[in-house]
Amino acid sequence: MGKLNGLSLFANIGVAEAYMGELGIDIKIANEIDEERARFYQEVYKETEMICGDITDDNVREKIVKEAIKEKVDFIIATPPCQGMSEAGLRLEFDPRNQLIYYAIDVIKKVKPEFVLLENVPKQLTTKIKFGDEIYLIPDYIKKELENDYTFNNETLVMAKDYGVPQLRERNIFLLVRKDLNYKWEFPEKEPEITLRQAIGDLPSLDPLLREGLEFTLEKFPDYEIKRQAGLAISKWHYPPKHSWKQVEWMMHTPTGKSAIYNEKYYPQKADGTPVKAHHNHYRRLKWDMPCRTIIQNNGVMSSLACVHPGRMYQSIAGENLYSDARVLTIYELLIVMSLPLDWSIPEWASETFIRKSFGEGIPSRLIEKIMKALLQQL
């Protein structure tokens, strides 16, 4: 395989880059606007020069370009924020975040790398952006700016589940090759799906830590501490998430793959018993026999979209059918479904909320690894 020098734009905490070093891709420079994420990235990838700053700032962008040319960067990965287009977001017309592709393209045109990977949500294909007096669909704008110098892949929609990742997560990815090179970069052949049962089914069951306190937790879950220790024996990141008792009770009565909003008695409700208005995928348990649903930013909250552990049915002392693991996925389980290395060096200072949000904005590591391998095998 050949060696590549890379630049990562909108780098987040470096989820996409987790296996690039093993492939012989040296990410020389990275850019991230958020100081906390930039600090995380720098601690994980100590050899990379992290340029923390706003890419829309001409001085910041000029520094990125200057350093990229100096380091002979021949590969750029750009993953602009997707919140302006995401199905889970507000999707405001002409959201300023959607315009960020302009600045990524500006860097690409000035650095002139041999290869480019541009990633975003599928909604990018039908999202409009405005430049001057002109309005473009994002794909049309990208091709207008780059197709004279680069060839594009034929198929751009890809599902992470098809490439060794136990998560659905559909993405739109443009793979660009500079026209003076004799390569054709397409997605590799699809692989068999990995279900949640295969991915996390053997991990120890965990009871949630109740917000009402440890004493109340032990009252409701006498085996809480035994299970917690069993989880920690696997990994320090496989520890009980914290939830309120009312939500836990709702989920204890919710079968695998179902949403609590359809429960006859233990459904999401206000103090007066009024049902909580919710989407059909809120308070929903995941399914064992399919890959995980897409990990979103708010994956630590049970009321978010399909983020509760599948659970297993058991009978209470009173003979009632209940379901275990009334909780969201642990950080360790998220590492697995994001296909990150299980020993990934997460900084000790990073809070659980920060880690979860950053994972929700990341692109699964193995997906990028497989796509990059398809190119590197030709070099």
Could you give the domains of the chain?
4-190+365-376 (3.40.50.150), 207-329 (no CATH)
Q: Is 52 a catalytic residue?
A: no
Q: Whole-prediction pTM value?
A: 0.93
The pair of three-digit structure tokens given for residue 144, joined into one six-digit string = 């207008």
The pair of three-digit structure tokens given for residue 2, joined into one six-digit string = 């050949």
Long-range contacts of 348-352 (CB under 8 A, 24+ apart): 350/40, 352/300
The pair of three-digit structure tokens given for residue 137, joined into one six-digit string = 């669909």
CB 203, CB 332: distance < 8 Å: yes
Point out the catalytic residue in the list 52, 82, 292, 307. 82
The beta-strand segments (E) located in 15-154 are: 25-32, 49-52, 75-78, 115-120, 128-131, 134-137, 150-152
The beta-strand segments (E) located in 59-169 are: 75-78, 115-120, 128-131, 134-137, 150-152, 157-159
Tens of pLDDT, residue by residue, the chain (379 residues): 458 999 999 999 999 999 999 999 999 999 999 999 999 999 999 999 999 999 999 999 999 999 999 999 999 999 987 544 444 444 445 555 578 889 999 999 999 999 999 998 878 777 887 777 788 888 889 999 999 999 999 999 999 999 999 999 999 999 999 999 999 999 999 999 999 999 999 999 999 999 999 999 999 999 999 999 999 999 999 999 999 999 999 999 999 999 999 999 999 999 888 999 888 999 999 999 999 999 999 999 999 999 999 999 999 988 999 999 999 999 999 999 999 999 999 999 999 999 999 999 999 999 999 999 999 999 8
**Alpha-carbon dihedral sign for residues 244, 250, 256, 259:** negative
